[in-house]
Structure 1
Amino acid sequence: MTTDVLPQQTRIGRTALRVNDLKEMTEFYRDVVGLDMLRHSDTSSVLGIEDTPLLILEGDADALQRHRSSAGLFHNAFRVPSRGALGDALARIREYWELSGASDHGVSEALYLTDPEDNGIEIYRDRPREDWPRSGDGSVRMGTYPLDLEAVEGAAAGDLGLPAGTDIGHVHLEVSSLEAFRDFYVDTIGFEVQENEPSALFVSAGGYHHHLAGNTWNQRTESVNGRGLSWFEVLIPDTAALDVIQARIADSQYPVTETEDGIAVTGPDEFEVRFRVGT
Structure 2
Amino acid sequence: MTDPASSLAYDGADGILANAPYRVGAVTLAVRDLDAVATFYRDVIGLAVEAEAGATVRLGTDDTTLVVLRADPDARQWTRREAGLFHTAFLLPTRGDLGAWLRHADAAGIALTGAADHLVSEAVYLSDPEGNGIEIYVDRPSPEWQWIDDGSVVMRNEPLDRAGIVGAATKPWVGMPAGSCVGHVHLQVGNLDATERFYADLLGFNVMCRYPGALFLGSGGYHHQLAGNVWNSRAAPERAEGTTGLAEITLVAEGAIAELVRSRFRDAGLSLVEDGDTFVVRDPWGTCLRLAPTP
| 2:189 equivalent among 175, 195, 219 | 175
1:235 and 2:248 correspond: no
* Residue identity in the other structure for 2:125: Y
Written as runs of structure 1 = structure 2, the 5 A alignment for 1:199-218 is: 199-218=213-232
Off by >6 Å, runs of 4+ in structure 1: none
Written as runs of structure 1 = structure 2, the 5 A alignment for 1:156-195 is: 156=169, 157-195=171-209
* Residue identity in the other structure for 1:80: L
User: What is the rounded CA distance, in whole Å, between the counterparts of 1:68 and 1:125 in structure 2?
Assistant: 26
| 2:287 equivalent among 255, 264, 271 | 271
User: What is the rounded CA distance, in whole Å, between the counterparts of 1:253 and 1:143 in structure 2?
Assistant: 38
The runs of 5 or more residues in structure 1 that have no matched partner are 1-6
* Cα contact 2:248–2:290 (8 A) shared by 1: yes
User: What is the rounded CA distance, in whole Å, between the counterparts of 1:198 and 1:269 in structure 2?
Assistant: 20
Q: Give 1:122 shift.
A: 0.2
Distance 1:53 1:68, change over 3 A: closer
User: What is the rounded CA distance, in whole Å, between the counterparts of 1:254 and 1:66 in structure 2?
Assistant: 27
Q: SS at 2:54's partner residue?
A: coil
- Segment of structure 1 superposing worse, 87-96 or 117-126: 87-96
* Cα contact 1:254–1:267 (8 A) shared by 2: no
- Segment of structure 1 superposing worse, 241-250 or 116-125: 241-250
* Residue identity in the other structure for 2:155: M
Q: Give 1:147 shift.
A: 0.6
Written as runs of structure 1 = structure 2, the 5 A alignment for 1:103-114 is: 103-114=116-127
User: What is the rounded CA distance, in whole Å, between the counterparts of 1:241 and 1:135 in structure 2?
Assistant: 26
1:222 and 2:237 correspond: yes
- TM score, norm. by length of structure 1: 0.93
User: What is the rounded CA distance, in whole Å, between the counterparts of 2:214 and 2:101 in structure 1?
Assistant: 27
Q: Give 1:253 shift.
A: 4.7
Q: Which residue of 1 aligns with 2:15?
A: none
Q: Which residue of 1 aligns with 2:45?
A: 33
Q: Which residue of 2 aligns with 1:260?
A: 276
Q: SS at 2:285's partner residue?
A: helix
- TM score, norm. by length of structure 2: 0.88
Q: Which residue of 2 aligns with 1:127?
A: 140
* Cα contact 1:77–1:122 (8 A) shared by 2: yes
* Cα contact 2:21–2:257 (8 A) shared by 1: no
- Segment of structure 1 superposing worse, 115-124 or 94-103: 94-103
The runs of 5 or more residues in structure 2 that have no matched partner are 1-18
Report the number of matched residues: 272
User: What is the rounded CA distance, in whole Å, between the counterparts of 2:79 and 2:167 in structure 1?
Assistant: 40
What's the RMSD between the two structures over aligned residues? 1.5
Q: Which residue of 1 aligns with 2:105?
A: 93
Q: Give 1:198 shift.
A: 3.7
